[in-house]
Amino acid sequence: MTPKAFNRTRSLINAFESKGVRSTQGTLRLEVALGSSASYTFNINDNQTKLATEVRLRSGDAFIPTKIGLFIKKANSATLTDALQATSLLHTYPNSTVFTGSGEADNLESIYSGRIQITVNSVNLTETIDTLNFRRVDMAQQGLAFLASAPVGKSNDYTRSAWQGGDYGFINYEQDICFNGQANNFANLNLAASVVNSGTQSTNYAVLYFRGVLLLNGANVAQDKSIKTFLSRSK
At residue 18, what are phi and psi to the nearest 5 degrees? Answer: -70, -20
Instruction: Establish if 49 belongs to a structural domain.
Output: yes
Q: Which pLDDT belongs to residue 152? A: 64
Q: 166: Cβ–Cβ under 8 A, 6 or more apart, which residues?
A: none
Report whether 98 contacts 74 (CB < 8 A).
yes
* Res 235: pLDDT: 47
- Cα(110)–Cα(90) distance, integer angstroms: 17
pLDDT in tens, 72-92: 999 987 778 999 999 999 999
Does residue 162 belong to any structural domain of this protein?
A: no
3 state SS of 185 = coil
Task: Provide the edge-to-edge strand list for the sheet that holds 39-43.
Answer: 39-43, 186-190, 115-120, 123-130
pLDDT at site 46: 93
Domain that holds residue 185: 8-136+175-233
Do 111 and 191 form a contact (C-beta atoms < 8 A)? yes
Per-residue confidence (pLDDT) for residue 177, from 0 to 100: 87
Total of domains in the chain: 1
Give the residues across from 116 on adjacent strands. Answer: 129, 189
All residue ranges of the chain with pLDDT < 70 are 1-6, 146-156, 222-235
* Residue 184 within any structural domain of the chain: yes
Give domain status of residue 189, yes or no: yes
Structure confidence at residue 229 (pLDDT): 53
* Cα–Cα distances in angstroms (integers) from residue 7 to residues 14, 65, 129, in the given order: 11, 13, 21
Report the distance separating Cα 111 and Cα 101, nearest Å.
17
DSSP 154: -
- What are the tens digits of pLDDT across the range 110-147? 999 999 999 888 888 777 899 999 999 988 888 887 66
Residue 25 in any domain: the answer is yes
Residue 210, beta-bridge partner list? 28, 68
